[in-house]
Amino acid sequence: MFFQTWSDFFNMGGYGFYVWLSYAVSLVAVIALIVQSVKQRKTVLQNVLREKQREERLQQANKGNTL
């Protein structure tokens, strides 16, 4: 094992602050990307459903207007 104690592991030879800060920033970025992707997917699906309903309403309105 590279570290003798858990304290040494978290300290990382004096560079622990930078190491754990970089892990935290990366984790926040990944979580933000996941949240943004889920929200965007939900928005796209809602827009597709709304457009489909609009097209169905237009077809119903134009059903009796054909020559």
Q: Place 1 in a pLDDT band, splitting at 50, 70 and 90.
A: low
Do the domain assignments include residue 50?
yes
**Amino acid making up residue 1:** M
Do the domain assignments include residue 1?
no
What angle (nearest 5°) sits at the alpha carbon of residue 23, between those of residues 5 and 33?
A: 150
pTM, full prediction:
0.71
d(CA 11, CA 19): 9
Do the domain assignments include residue 25?
yes
**Ramachandran category for residue 13: left, alpha or beta (phi over 0 → left; psi -120 to 50 → alpha):** left
Range of the domain at 44: 6-65
Do the domain assignments include residue 21?
yes
What would the pLDDT profile of 36-58 be if each residue is shown by its tens digit?
999 999 999 999 999 999 999 99
Do the domain assignments include residue 37?
yes
Q: How many domains, in total, are found in the chain?
A: 1
Do the domain assignments include residue 47?
yes
